[in-house]
Amino acid sequence: MNDERCMIFLFGATGDLARKKLIPALESLFEKGFLKESPVICIGRRKISKEEYVQLVKGNGEFLNHLYYVSAELKGKQEAELKVLIEELDRKYKCKGNKIFYLALASDLFKQTIEMIKELKLLEGEGKKRVAFEKPFGFDKRSAEELNEIVSAVFREEQIYRIDHYLGKELVENIAIFRFGNSLFEDIWNKKYVENVQIVLSETVGVETRAEYYEKTGTVRDMIQNHILQILSLVAMEAPREFTADLVRDEKVKVLSVLEKGECVVGQYSEGGYEGKVIPGYCAEQGVAKDSLTETFVALKVFVKNSRWEGVPFYLKTGKRLDKKYSEVNIVLKDVASRLFLQEKEKDRKNVISICIFPDEGIVLRFNAKVPDSRKELEPVCMEFSHKAAFGPNSSEAYETVLKEILKGNQTLFTRFDEIQESWRCVDEILAKIDFKKELKIYPAFSSGPKEADELLRKEGRVWVQTKK
């Protein structure tokens, strides 16, 4: 569809995601020529004019001429007006009935939005129709299955794009290439050589204006169920027979279906300080219950129960209001069999392969070298592939990439329903075992998180690795 025009419907247009990510991504695709002149119909809750909407999204340039804003109360008169607008735009832009519906909404609004799309008869007639759902898809396994039934009664699987924007990040897309496109790594990518795997998505932002969503969701549903488990499945999967959307997803789902949860630490940020300013705790944020038990941090251990990974712990960690924004995958290799150079003080100098997703995209290999003028003293050194240095500084924003793939009709970067089911199975098990009243650990904003998360590794003789400090 990317060389044809299409009508884009953006539901949730006044929300955080649409304002900060989706509109800028569409604007950038338009400027780069990936999005042909196409009408973008923004549908939001606020009763505002197009001019006010443009101000809200801080849009500019020629792209704005193709932006239309409609208030979400699509009943009676407005519905009729919208129908007229759609017909008019279809004629003006010659979209030939091609339509993309992007639901940048909480998943409890998906059902009524699909009904609205049906009632407005937007799926009828010629042209390609595609629908994108923002994550998380559902609230648990059961609700996701119910939701999927509703969705699949209206759309075929090949029309459905379940978004996980991490799959559109350059270095996440690189994982499969890095593993299967090089003879260097694949032979050591297993329990014989890998001691543990760490996936960390650390954030400095708090809940911001998203309390309504976050209070219902929490970090496990917001980050583990999707971004972290998706990265894990790419790191752990077997090579697909061919690099096609379905064969890649077949391999990812096999990993997710054998995940077994281990210990888990949950936390919530309290008041802290940053650059001399007092930063409020989670419970003092606007829209959050004063006695909220919602977790803003989680660290946990899981195992991939198959022959490649038997016994190798995968440590996962993510949280809000931590001291640094960074996303890394660290593959920690086992000690060399020979103890020749590994004296007591050098115990932690393990070789590490780091996939750095943010901020400095790249891959770093950490190994030991001899300290000059010593005979056998070791010092860890790094060899680095910097994405920016090799390919230039402007790798696309993740949302730009996923939108481009929807326009192209390529589903590789989107989660299939069986992956969602397996991730929810795992997350439901994690959540069912936590007694939030007793277990929620409080950590100050802008710290490294609860000390229990460090203890999780320390008691097993390990530490969290952070390559980009």
Q: How far is the CB of 422 from ligand BG6 (least distance, A)?
A: 19
Q: Which residue in the shown chain puts its C-beta closest to ligand BG6? A: 222
How would you classify the pairing of strands 326-333 and 352-358? antiparallel
Q: Which is nearer to ligand BG6, 16 or 124 (CB)?
A: 16
Dihedral, CA atoms, 59, 63, 66, 71, nearest 10 degrees?
A: -20
- Of the residues 66, 165, 227, 387, which is catalytic? 227
Q: How far is the CB of 57 from ligand BG6 (least distance, A)?
A: 18
Q: Which is nearer to ligand BG6, 243 or 274 (CB)?
A: 274
By CB atoms closer than 10 A (0-12, 13-18, 19+), residue 180 is: middle
Dihedral angle sign, alpha carbons of residues 59, 136, 465, 307: negative
Q: Which is nearer to ligand BG6, 122 or 430 (CB)?
A: 430
Number of residues that bind ligand BG6 (CB under 6 A): 5
What span, in angstroms and rounded, lies between the C-alpha atoms of 260 and 236?
14
Which of 135, 99, 105 is closest to 7 using CA atoms? 99
Q: How far is the CB of 354 from ligand BG6 (least distance, A)?
A: 17
- For residue 361, state whether it binds ligand BG6 (rule: CB under 6 A): no
Q: Which is nearer to ligand BG6, 194 or 406 (CB)?
A: 406
Q: Can you read off the two tokens belonging to residue 436?
A: 């939030």
What would the x/- binding string for ligand BG6 be over residues 372 to 411, using CB under 6 A?
--------------------------x-------------
Q: Enumerate residues 435-454 that contact ligand BG6 by CB under 6 A.
A: none
Instruction: Find tokens 């609004």 and name the residue.
Output: 109
Which of 430, 198, 467, 464 is closest to 314 using CA atoms? 198
Instruction: Find tokens 């969701």 and name the residue.
Output: 217
Which phi and psi (to 5°) does residue 337 adopt?
-60, -40
Q: How far is the CB of 219 from ligand BG6 (least distance, A)?
A: 8
Q: Which is nearer to ligand BG6, 209 or 386 (CB)?
A: 209
227 is catalytic: yes
Q: Which is nearer to ligand BG6, 251 or 328 (CB)?
A: 328
Q: Enumerate residues 299-358 that contact ligand BG6 by CB under 6 A.
A: 327
**Which helix or strand (DSSP H or E) is residue 290 part of?**
none
Q: How far is the CB of 80 from ligand BG6 (least distance, A)?
A: 35
Q: Which is nearer to ligand BG6, 196 or 327 (CB)?
A: 327
How would you classify the pairing of strands 277-279 and 272-274? antiparallel
What span, in angstroms and rounded, lies between the C-alpha atoms of 300 and 438?
17
**Single-letter residue type at 242:** E
- For residue 203, state whether it binds ligand BG6 (rule: CB under 6 A): yes
**Single-letter residue type at 199:** I
Q: Which residues contact 360 (CB under 8 A, 6 or more apart)?
A: 386, 387, 388, 468
Q: What is the DSSP string of 118-153?
A: HHTTTT-SSS-EEEEEPSP-SSSHHHHHHHHHHHHT
Q: How far is the CB of 195 from ligand BG6 (least distance, A)?
A: 27
Q: Enumerate residues 221-240 that contact ligand BG6 by CB under 6 A.
A: 222
394: how many CB neighbours lie within 10 A of its CB?
7
b/e per residue, 417-444, with b = 16+ CB within 10 A? bebbbbbbebbbebbeebeeeeebbebb
- For residue 428, state whether it binds ligand BG6 (rule: CB under 6 A): no
Dihedral, CA atoms, 29, 32, 36, 41, nearest 10 degrees?
A: 30
153 beta partners: none
Q: Which is nearer to ligand BG6, 205 or 371 (CB)?
A: 205
Q: How far is the CB of 357 from ligand BG6 (least distance, A)?
A: 8
Q: How far is the CB of 12 from ligand BG6 (least distance, A)?
A: 13
Chain positions contacting ligand BG6, by CB under 6 A = 203, 205, 222, 327, 398
Just list the catalytic residues: 227
